[in-house]
Amino acid sequence: MNDKNLEICEIFSSISGEGLRSGTLATFIRFSGCNMRCSYCDTKYHNEVSYYLDIDYINLNDNLLKKLKNRKFVIITGGEPHCQNHTKLKKLIDWLLKNGTEIIEIETNGKYLDIFIKLLSKYHQEQKVCFSADFKIEYLKDYEYIVSSHLGYEKLNKNDCIKVIVKSIENIEAARKIANRFRNTNVMVSPCYDMLSPTEIAEYIIKNNYQNLRMQVQLHKILWEVNAREK
């Protein structure tokens, strides 16, 4: 966490491409920076900063805030939103909910999920804020540590989801293990492109009757080019 103004990479409206609200029109706020370096990252430009937002001095004529007013569904993503100043991030969320937003989905890589849930616990309970938290399967060697520690996954509910990107059949098995462990939420598997096809995932889930897994394809990668921006 730092004390700087909020650093925003881009703001745009599009169709939510993944998670429980896939297919819904949303306004995206993509924050800059990330604390991980995933090989399959599809937002490698996330370190760019297009706007600095000083939420402590809100100017209602600010063009940036005009873009965010009266947006029913807002997705806060990255990069990793956790890398921003938490107090300022919370103030932005307060502002959005007072200015027409009904639900905010926070996409996070999950590394500091517990901290996020504590910060936004009231809104989370009121179902005004929900989480879409990755479970990075490549760190599976840490699986036992992750599930036995209080990293926040156990606080997710049916309004949230855990996203698992799978590269192999073994990864689907691991996702099933995660779903068995965190039964209060939804576990969604999606293919790592070029490594496993959606059809292979679907057939494996059907063959094994894995009723606690949901699969998704990243809709935005079907609608637009894989690395398209601001769509």
Out of 5, 24, 36, 147, the only residue in the binding site for ligand SF4 (CB under 6 A) is 36
Question: Judged by CB under 6 A, does residue 34 bind ligand SF4?
Answer: yes
By beta-carbon proximity to ligand SF4, the closer residue of 135 and 204 is 135
Out of 17, 19, 78, 152, the only residue in the binding site for ligand SF4 (CB under 6 A) is 78
Q: Token match 């606690």: residue?
A: 212
Question: Judged by CB under 6 A, does residue 38 bind ligand SF4?
Answer: yes
Out of 7, 18, 80, 105, the only residue in the binding site for ligand SF4 (CB under 6 A) is 80
DSSP 197: -
Tell me, by CB under 6 A, how many residues bind ligand SF4.
11
Question: Does residue 19 contact residue 188 with C-beta atoms inside 8 Å?
Answer: yes
Work out how close the CB of 48 gets to ligand SF4 at its nearest, in angstroms, rounded to a whole number: 13
Specify whether the backbone of 85 is left (phi greater than 0), alpha (psi in -120 to 50) or beta: beta
State the Cα–Cα distance between residues 32 and 126, nearest whole angstrom. Answer: 28
Question: Judged by CB under 6 A, does residue 81 bind ligand SF4?
Answer: no
State the Cα–Cα distance between residues 184 and 187, nearest whole angstrom. Answer: 10
By beta-carbon proximity to ligand SF4, the closer residue of 46 and 210 is 46
Out of 109, 159, 185, 218, the only residue in the binding site for ligand SF4 (CB under 6 A) is 109
Question: Judged by CB under 6 A, does residue 195 bind ligand SF4?
Answer: no
Question: Which one of 35-43, 149-157, 183-191, 221-229 is the stretch in contact with ligand SF4 (CB under 6 A)?
Answer: 35-43
State the Cα–Cα distance between residues 97 and 129, nearest whole angstrom. Answer: 9
Work out how close the CB of 45 gets to ligand SF4 at its nearest, in angstroms, rounded to a whole number: 10
State the Cα–Cα distance between residues 79 and 12, nearest whole angstrom. Answer: 15
Q: Which residue type sits at 203?
A: E
Helix (DSSP H) and strand (DSSP E) numbers for the chain: 8, 9
CB neighbours of residue 86 within 10 Å: 17
Question: Which one of 16-24, 77-85, 153-161, 198-206 is the stretch in contact with ligand SF4 (CB under 6 A)?
Answer: 77-85
Question: Which one of 9-17, 37-45, 97-105, 211-219 is the stretch in contact with ligand SF4 (CB under 6 A)?
Answer: 37-45
Question: Judged by CB under 6 A, does residue 79 bind ligand SF4?
Answer: yes
State the Cα–Cα distance between residues 224 and 134, nearest whole angstrom. Answer: 22
Backbone angles phi, psi at 196, to 5 degrees: -150, 135
Residues at the contact surface with ligand SF4, assessed by CB under 6 A:
34, 36-38, 41, 43, 46, 78-80, 109
